[in-house]
Amino acid sequence: MKKDIILSGVGGQGILSIATVIGRAALAEGLQIKQAEVHGMSQRGGDVQSHLRISSSEIHSDLIPRGAADLIISLEPMESLRYLEWLSAEGWIVTSTVPVINIPNYPDEETLTKELEAQPHVIALDADALAREAASPRSANMALLGAAAPLLDLDAGLLEEGIRAIFARKGEAVVEANLAAFRAGYETAKKQTAR
Amino acid sequence: MPKRELLLGDEALALGALHAGLSGVFAYPGTPSTEITEYIQSHPLAAERNIHRSWSSNEKTAMEEALGMSFVGKRAMVCMKHVGLNVAADAFVNSGMTGAHGGLVVVVADDPSMHSSQNEQDSRFYGEFAFIPTFEPATQQEAYDMVQHAFELSERFQIPVLMRLTTRMAHSRAVVEIGEARKENPLSYPQSARQWVLMPGNSRVRYRSLIEDRARLEQEAVESPFNRYDEGPDKRLGIIASGIAYNYLMENYPEGCPYPVLKISQYPLPKELVRHLAETCGELLIIEEGQPFIEQAVRGVLPALMKIRGRLTGELPRTGELTPDSVRTALGLAPHRAHAASQIVVPRPPALCQGCGHRDMYTALTEVVREFPDGKVFSDIGCYTLGWLAPFHAIDTCVDMGASITMAIGAAHAGQHPALAVIGDSTFTHSGMTGLLDAVNEGANITVVISDNLTTGMTGGQDSAGTGRLEQICAGIGVDPAHIRVVVPLPKNREEMKRILREEIAYHGVSVIIPRRECIQTAKRHAAAKNR
């Protein structure tokens, strides 16, 4: 088993929480993990990414080679395209469609949608709306993780345990909201991939 | 089954130090080293043992505090980013001369590719220069194991040890197997007391023994469990890979490398192993993260007896961090098939947060500076360096910690007016105070803005050494209290800020303006903690 995943988004969106949940589930399954993060230099509002590698055999590099990623999970549509060169020919993009427009030259939405639709394997969903309907708009990152879950080859129960663990200190209501968002994302993705 | 944890390289090193019987960590925050100290600060064992773990004012004070702890026999660690070692250099280089007593490990995190730094200096040169043995972990597990080995070596040789990390090691997580915690050392004093008093007569004696120890330390590196010679069937090429570069090499050979490989993670450079590799192979490829430290040592100046490839010959990029792909190219392997890059993606640079006090400060400052034909703003290291970018274009320089005030002084002496300095509160107490004393003593005509957000913001909100005492500090240094002005940087106070700036620029002498409002990130965190 080997999954190389690029996580991307805009600083402050919560990609590291996604990485932490996947990491915990992989650890519980006894897999090897490497996860390179970007910290510092006030990344708030700037682009952020993380390379997450899980495997049943030894992982050497902390960085994913170009063309090797199985999955890009992105909380922002333009950011999902920033790392296309890392995606393998059979790789999937799972992205939220909600743009974060904090720069003057952000591409227009139609061009962006077309570019995403041109990719061979895409799950695109409004993670904010899904999270809002399920429980709370602040759980968009867990809705997106839910959408990626069918492609992860990890036990969904272990992912839910990971969500419980990282939100436990914020109280049961926050845990339940994040689990609801995760499940909503999961169901939506299953419908999209079944088509 | 041993306990396994998913840890950042920084955290694995921190836990290794705790388990090695650490009695104190001394540090000033700096990316990518900050998480080492933060991990120790939040670890229950550190609280249980009451290990020293609060932040120091700067890297030099941290280094000296750790040296003092080592002098009395306890294990101490200092952590900093690579440019922090420039600040600590006086203490660091001379700690090679005094030697250590209790184990002393100096952790320096280099930042090749300058993700969050002003240069790409490679700390291994400092280790060589100061005769201090150096370790460079390739994996998080090595970071955990190696720091314990480093403390042991430090005590056995009575010398400080440098642990060099790079960004990808510091900020990457992996599963680490954890051992048991050793006890702390009891208090004890050095046997060789003379060498701790670096008067010329003592220093000359010590310098000779330091050079003699170097040969024994090199033999340690030859026999080190972290340096490894792996045979390969194809002797046309021999590869030297140091630290994290070894991972990128092996990534490209999932079935094992066909060439002999010398993995180096402990220095002085084990020359015997390098010679053996060179005698065995037709050519050498040297892969190292950072500057070509090993490559220069192996290549020298005169024509080499064999072909040596690396960063100096262009097979590997001369600057920036390595990647599995750049190493793949140097190995002559075909690139992986990859998607074409998207043509519609545009850069998204970091920016000052919406609602940040630095924004209000810069808005007022730029409006006032524009009233002068040639106003110059000398700035410093912190979030506020982003004031160089749009929409502010507010600053003219950013060099090193504290250089804002001192460069403004030099410019003012040359006739520059207005000469403004913009510095953050934590940078001011790190390295700005002595410059302000110069300004007062020299009667420099400068206007200093200490943009006070009550924290060390850029590295994530650590305590700032002068919080609550900045006016007292400036007055104590000798700034006229009538020209120490405090203002709250909010949009509603913009005209007040502009008026104060104009008045203090008009004043002939040293003035300090302190726009003070808490960092909005730490303010959010404090509010959330209160509501819980």
In this structure, which amino acid lies at residue B333?
Answer: L
Secondary-structure breakdown of chain A: helix, strand, coil percentages, each rounded to the nearest 5: 50, 25, 30
- Selected for mutation to probe chain B from A39, A47, A172 (highest B CB count within 10 Å) is A39
Shortest CA gap B175–chain A (Å): 6
Question: Of B133, B186, B155, B148, which Cα lies nearest the Cα of B23?
Answer: B186
Residue B338 is predicted with a pLDDT of 84
Question: Residue B346 and residue B339: Cα distance in Å, rounded?
Answer: 17
Of B34, B174, B353, the CB nearest to A44: B353
pLDDT at B529: 84
Distance of alpha carbon B400 from alpha carbon A92, whole angstroms:
44
pLDDT above 60: residue A111 = yes
Cβ contacts of A42 on chain B, cutoff 8 Å: 350-353, 383, 386, 457-458
Could you tell me which chain B residue has the CA closest to the CA of A111? B344
ipTM value, please give it. Answer: 0.93
Q: What is the mean pLDDT of residues A82-100?
A: 96
Which one, of A107, A37, A10, lies nearest residue B353 by Cα? A10
3-state secondary structure of B252: coil
C-beta atoms of B325 and A65 within 8 A: yes
Q: How far is CA B99 from CA B195, B498, B528, B532, in A?
A: 8, 53, 46, 48
Angle CA(B338)–CA(B340)–CA(B344) in degrees, nearest 5?
A: 145
Q: Which residue of chain B comes nearest to A114, CA vs CA?
A: B344
Surface-to-core class of residue B523, CB atoms within 10 Å of its CB (0-12 exposed, 13-18 middle, 19+ buried):
middle
Cβ-nearest to A33 among B6, B337, B341? B6
Kindly compute the dihedral angle of the four CA atoms of residues B217, B264, A60, A165, in this order, to the nearest 10 degrees: 30
Closest chain B C-alpha to A137 CA, distance in angstroms: 18
CA dihedral A38, B37, B402, B62 (to 10 degrees): -150
Cross-strand pairs, B76: B24, B104
Torsion of CA B35, B168, B70, B52, to 10 degrees: 10
User: Can you give the CATH number for the domain in which A84 is found?
Assistant: 3.40.920.10
- How does the average pLDDT of chain A come out, rounded? 92
Nearest to B116 among A41, A45, A64 (CB): A41
Residue ranges making up the domain that contains A188: 2-193
Residue B532 has what pLDDT? 66
What is residue A40's predicted lDDT score, i.e. its pLDDT? Answer: 56
Check B173 against A35: CB less than 8 A apart: yes
CB pairs < 8 Å spanning A and B: 155
The domains of chain B, with CATH numbers, are 3-223 (3.40.50.970), 228-335 (3.40.50.920), 357-524 (3.40.50.970)
Contact A107 B386 (CB under 8 A): no
Does position A90 have pLDDT exceeding 90, yes or no? yes
How far is the C-alpha of B239 from the C-alpha of B230, rounded, in Å?
A: 10
Residue whose structure tokens are 């959408």: A147
Per-residue pLDDT band for A43 (boundaries 50, 70, 90) equals low
Q: Which residues of B touch A88 (CB under 8 A)?
A: 336-338
Q: Are B251 and A60 inside 8 Å of each other by CB?
A: yes
Q: Which amino acid is at B217?
A: L
Q: Is residue A176 pLDDT above 80, yes or no?
A: yes
CA atoms within 13 A on the CB side of B532: 12
pTM: 0.95
Q: What is the pLDDT of residue B403?
A: 98
Residues B247, A84: C-beta atoms closer than 8 Å? no
B470-477 helix and B433-442 helix, angle to the nearest 10 degrees:
40
Tokens of B224: 């080190």
DSSP B337: P
Which regions in chain B score pLDDT beneath 70?
Answer: 1, 532
Closest Cα in chain A, distance from residue B31 (Å)? 6
C-alpha–C-alpha distance, residues B329 and B309, integer Å: 12
Interchain pair B328, A65: CB under 8 A: yes
Distance from CA of A33 to the nearest CA of B (A): 5
On chain B, the residues whose CB falls within 8 A of the CB of A115 are 342, 344
The pLDDT score that the predictor gives to residue A192 is 82
Give the rounded percent of residues in chain A with a pLDDT score beyond 70: 97
Which pLDDT does position A194 carry in this prediction?
72
Confidence of residue A195 (pLDDT cuts 50, 70, 90): low
**B390 CB-near residues (< 8 Å, 6+ apart):** none
**B437 phi and psi, to 5 degrees?**
-65, -40
Give yes or no for a contact between B343 and A111, defined as CB atoms under 8 angstroms apart.
Answer: no
- In whole angstroms, give the CA distance from residue B138 to residue B247: 7
Instruction: Collect contacts of B63-67 with beta carbons under 8 A, ≥24 apart.
Output: B63/B26, B63/B88, B63/B91, B63/B92, B63/B95, B63/B106, B64/B91, B65/B24, B65/B26, B66/B24, B66/B26, B66/B104, B66/B106, B67/B91, B67/B95, B67/B98, B67/B100, B67/B104, B67/B160
The count of structural domains within chain A is: 1
Which pLDDT tens digit goes with each residue over B416-469? 999 999 999 999 999 999 999 999 999 999 999 999 999 999 999 999 999 999
To the nearest whole angstrom, how far is the Cα of B154 from the nearest Cα of chain A?
A: 29
Judging contacts by C-beta atoms under 8 Å, the chain A residues touching residue B338 are 66-67, 85-88
The amino acid that residue B48 corresponds to is: E
